[in-house]
Amino acid sequence: MIEETTKNASNFVDQVDGAFVFIFGISLFFLFAITIVMVYYIIRYRKSRNPEATHIEGNNTLEVVWTVIPTILVLLMFYYGWSGWKMQKDVPDDAMPIKSIARMWSFSFQYENGLVTDTLFVPIDKAISLDLIAQDVLHSMYIPAFRVKQDMVPGKDANIWFESGKIGEYEIFCAEYCGLRHSYMKSVVKVLPQDEFEAWYKLNSVAMDTGNEEVNKRLAGKGVLRKYGCNACHTADGTKLVGPSYRNILSNKRTVVKDGQEYEVEADIEYIRRSIYDPNYEIVKGYDKGLMLSYKDQVTEEELQQLMEYFQSLSEN
Q: Which does 197 bind (CB under 5 to 8 A by kind): Cu ion, ligand HEC, none?
A: none
Report the C-alpha gap between 143 and 156 in whole angstroms: 20
Q: What is the contact mask toward ligand HEC in residues 152 to 191, using x (rule: CB under 6 A)?
A: ----------------------------------------
Report the C-alpha gap between 134 and 117 in whole angstroms: 16
Q: Other C-beta atoms within 10 Å of 181: how many? A: 15
Report the C-alpha gap between 291 and 283 in whole angstroms: 10
Site residues for ligand HEC, 99-128, by CB under 6 A, read 104
What's the closest the beta carbon of residue 101 comes to ligand HEC, in angstroms?
A: 12
Q: Which does 185 bind (CB under 5 to 8 A by kind): ligand HEC, Cu ion, none?
A: Cu ion
Binding test (CB under 6 A) with ligand HEC, winner from 11, 150, 164, 275? 275
Residue 103 as a binder of Cu ion (CB under 5 A): the answer is: no
Q: What are the φ/ψ torsions at residue 232 (nearest 5 degrees)? A: -65, -25
Residue 249 as a binder of ligand HEC (CB under 6 A): the answer is: yes
Q: Which does 284 bind (CB under 5 to 8 A by kind): ligand HEC, Cu ion, none?
A: ligand HEC
Residue 141 as a binder of Cu ion (CB under 5 A): the answer is: no
Residue 230 as a binder of ligand HEC (CB under 6 A): the answer is: yes
Residues contacting 289, CB < 8 A, separation 6+ = 280, 283
Residue 284 as a binder of ligand HEC (CB under 6 A): the answer is: yes
Beta bridge partners of 188: 171
Binding test (CB under 5 A) with Cu ion, winner from 9, 98, 174, 220? 174
Residue 228 as a binder of ligand HEC (CB under 6 A): the answer is: yes
Residue 272 as a binder of ligand HEC (CB under 6 A): the answer is: yes
C-alpha distance from residue 51 to each of 4, 37, 45, 48, 56 (Å): 67, 20, 8, 6, 16
Stretch that binds ligand HEC, among 39-47, 68-76, 142-150, 238-246 (CB under 6 A): 238-246
Let me know: does 147 contact 17? Beta carbons within 8 Å. yes
Q: CA dihedral defined by 237, 240, 241, 247, rounded to 10 degrees?
A: 40
Let me know: does 129 contact 161? Beta carbons within 8 Å. yes
Residues that bind ligand HEC (CB under 6 A): 104, 228-230, 232-234, 242-244, 249, 254, 267, 272, 275-276, 279, 283-284, 287-288, 291-292, 295, 299, 307
